Amino acid sequence: MRSRSGHEIIAEVEPGFDYVDHETGEPLEVVGKLLPLAPSPSNLPWTVENLRLCGCSKEQLVQKDVNDCPYCGQRLPAVES
């Protein structure tokens, strides 16, 4: 959430409520939302250390423990250690 003066906070909010910045008294506006990730066959967290490029023309990041690309369906090569 962000105020007009640019003060930002991250908070869990409920729809239909008006939120106010406690420091400035300005109303806060929702500027971003966390969305749940789509279901994945991977058990790894979505971090840089656990990702690799698919290699297809879409060049999407996929988790290292996934055998097939969820975007193009192609079989992924073995992960080099």
Q: Name the residue ranges covered by the structural domains of the chain.
A: 1-33, 40-81
Per-residue model confidence (pLDDT) at position 11: 86
Per-residue model confidence (pLDDT) at position 59: 80
For the chain, residues with pLDDT lower than 50 are: none
CA dist., res. 69 & res. 59, Å (int) = 10
Per-residue model confidence (pLDDT) at position 70: 84
Task: Report phi then psi at 44, rounded to 5.
Answer: -85, 145
Q: Which two tokens stand for residue 8?
A: 């930002």
Per-residue model confidence (pLDDT) at position 25: 93
Q: Which two tokens stand for residue 30?
A: 């929702």
